[in-house]
Amino acid sequence: MAARTAVHCGLSGSVMAAPTQRAAGWGRRLCTAAAHRPWRLFGAMCLLRLPRITQPLEKEEEEMAALMGQIELEKSHYSDHEIRKLEEEEQLRRRRESSFDDDEAPSKTLIMAEDLEEKWEQKLLRFKAAPRITDADKNNNRTSLNRRLDSNLMLLVKQKIGNQELWLLPQVEWQPGETLRSTAERAMAAFLGDHIQAKILGNAPYGIYKYKFPRAIRTEDNVGAKVFFFKAFLQSSDLSQAELKEDYLWVTKDELGDYLKSEYLKKVNRFLLDL
Amino acid sequence: MRPGSCEHRRRRVVQKLSSSPRPTPTPPPPAGGGTRGGSRGPWGPGWGSTEARRGDALSDGRGSVRGAGMSAALPKVLCLKKGALLKQVFVLSRAATPRESCLCAAGGALLSCHRHYRSRPTHGIGRFQYLLPKEAPKKKKDKVQMKEINVGTEYEYGDVNIYMTSYDMCLVEHFAQYVHKLCNRLSVKVNESYAMPTKTNEVQLLEERGSKLQLDAVLTTHQRVVQISGLSSTFAPILLEIIQNNQPEGVHLLVKEHTEADFKSRLKSRPELEELLAQMN
C-alpha cells in the first residue's frame, strides 16, 4: 500500500504531461497524507462533435442584420456588373426611342448582363441546400451523429459501476505507469475502437469528480474513486468501424440532465462550453 | 478661402482676451470697421452709451458685410463676429471677476494654443523634447524574428500563428478582429495581426462534347493571420476551444507554430538579385 501510494505521488508530481497546478498541488499533498486514504483513479473521455452549422439567429438579431444590410446597400457604390447592366439598359432604351437608328453597329453578340443574371438565377434554383433539421432530429434518434447539427454532441455510454448500470462518460481505471491522458485515450478506444480520429488539445484534465464508495465496500485502502475528465474533438464524423459496446448516446448539454446523476452532472457541466 | 485663416484669426482674438487688462481697448476687428474706426476711449464715463454704440456698430458691421460678398467671406466674417462677441462678453464680465478666472474663461494656457515669441520672457516654457531619450535611427533592413523557447520550464508556447482563410472577406476580417480582441481580453500577447495576399482562382467549366473552357466564376481567397506568444500550456486548450466554437461557417482555421518559412513567405522574392547572386557564385 505504501509502495502504491509512493508511486502515485511520484507520478503525479513529475508527470511530463503538465497537470493543472491544482492537481499537482493535490498530488504533493497526497504524498504526505495519502498513506491512510488511497483513492482509485479513473480517466474519462468527453468526446465532442463540434457543430456543423451555426445556430439560427434570434428575432432581434435578424432584424438588426436586415437593417445593417439595408444601410450597407444604400451606402455602397455600384459594382462593375451593375454599371454594365445600367449602361446596357440605357443603350436599349436609346435604341428603341431612336426607332432603329442603329448608328452603333449591333456587333454586340456578346452576352448581355441581363442574360448572365438569368443564367445565375437558374443555377441558384437548381441548387438544393441540405436540410438543417435532419431525419434523426425528427425521429429523435439519439444514437445517430447526424442530429442537432448546430450544437455540441457528447458521447455517453452505459457502464456497470459496482452493481449499478449507469450512463457515464466513458471511463477506464488508471494503471500505474501511464499518464492520465493516455488512460482517457484508452477509454475512448475501448468503447469506440482504435481508428477514431479525435484530437485532444492539451495534457491537462478539464474536471474532476470524486466520490466515496458506499460503506459496505469501503475499506481502509479503498475509500473512493476520482474521475478525471479530458476533452477530445471528433475530427471526422464517420464512425463506421466503431460502436463495439452496447449502449451509447450522443447528447447535447441540455439533454445531459436526463441521463446523468445530479452530482456527476454538476461537475461535468462545469467544463462544458455551450454557446 | 484658406481654411487656416479663420482659425488664425480666432486664435489672435483669444490671445487678446487672456492678456492683462489694459486701460485702452483693443482695436476692433477690421471688417466693418468703417463705422467704428474712429471710436476712441470708450472706457470713459460714457460706458453704457459706448456699449450701445458698439453693439450697433457690430450689428451694422454684420449687416453691411452680409450685404457684401456672401459665400466666401461669410464664414470668415462669422468667425470674426464670434471673436468680437467673446470679447464683448469678457469686457462685460471684467468688472465682476478677477484676472485668473478670466484666464480660465478664455480656456486656460494649454487650450488657448498661442506660442510666446522669443522676446517674451516666458519663451521656451513648457519645452520638454530635450529631456526625452534619444531614439536610435531606424534601420532600413528588417531583421529576422526572435524565437522563444518552445517548451521551457514554464510550459509555454513560443510564437503561434492562427491562420483564418475564407472566400468571404468581410467574414474572415471580422473573425480575425474577434480573435484579436479575445486574446487582448484574455491577456494573451498578440505580436502581429496581418493579412496574406489575396489569391484569385478562376473556375472554368469544360463543356461536354466540346473543348472550349468557359469562364464560370472568379473566386478570391482571403487569409488573415494573428500571431500570439506566451500562451501557457494549461490555457492553450481553453483558448483553442473557444475559437473553435466561435468559428463561423465558411472560415477555415489553422493554428501552428511560427517558423522561419512562415516569415519568409511574407517577403517578396527578388529574382534579379537571386540571378545575380547565382552568377557571382
Nearest to B236 among A50, A202, A231 (CB): A202
DSSP-assigned states of every residue in B191-250 = EEEEEEEEEEEEEEEEPTT---EEEEEEEEEEEEEEEEE--BTTTHHHHHHHHHHTPPTT
Cell of B12: 489672435
Burial of A49 (0-12, 13-18, 19+ CB in 10 A): buried
B79 vs A126 pLDDT, higher one: A126
| Cβ-Cβ contacts under 8 Å, B246 against chain A | 275
**A79 near B CB under 8 A:** no
| Cβ-Cβ contacts under 8 Å, A20 against chain B | 234
Percent of all residues in chain A with a pLDDT value above 70, rounded to a whole number:
78
Cell of A152: 455540441
Longest Cα separation, chain A: 107
Rounded mean pLDDT of chain A?
79
Residue-wise pLDDT tens digits, A138-167 = 888 888 888 888 888 888 888 888 778 888
Quote the CA–CA distance of B61 and B101 in Å, as a whole number: 30
The pTM for the full model equals 0.65
- Per the CB < 8 Å rule, is A204 touching B242? no
Residue-wise pLDDT tens digits, A39-98 = 888 999 998 888 888 888 999 999 999 999 999 999 999 999 999 999 999 988 988 888
Angle between helices B73-94 and B47-67 (to 10 degrees): 170
- Per the CB < 8 Å rule, is A275 touching B245? yes
| Cβ-Cβ contacts under 8 Å, B249 against chain A | 53-54
B61 vs A101 pLDDT, higher one: A101
| Cβ-Cβ contacts under 8 Å, A49 against chain B | none
- Tell me how close the Cα of A1 comes to any Cα of chain B, in angstroms: 32
Q: What are the φ and ψ backbone dihedral angles of B238, each rounded to 5 degrees?
A: -65, -45
pLDDT category at A261 given cuts 50, 70, 90 is confident
B2 vs A255 pLDDT, higher one: A255
Tell me the pLDDT of chain B (281 aa) as tens digits: 444 444 444 444 444 444 444 444 444 444 443 444 344 444 444 444 444 444 444 444 443 434 333 444 444 444 445 545 555 555 444 544 445 444 445 444 455 667 778 888 888 888 898 899 988 877 766 666 666 555 545 678 888 899 999 999 999 999 999 999 999 999 999 988 999 999 999 888 877 777 777 777 889 999 999 999 888 888 999 999 999 989 999 999 999 988 888 888 888 888 888 899 999 98
- CB neighbours of A59 closer than 8 A, spacing ≥ 6? none
- Per the CB < 8 Å rule, is B233 touching A204? yes
ipTM associated with this complex: 0.77
The mean pLDDT value for A160-185 works out to 87
Paired residues of A228 in beta bridges: A43, A208
pLDDT at A177 (0 to 100): 87
- Per the CB < 8 Å rule, is A275 touching B233? no
Quote the CA–CA distance of A113 and A106 in Å, as a whole number: 16
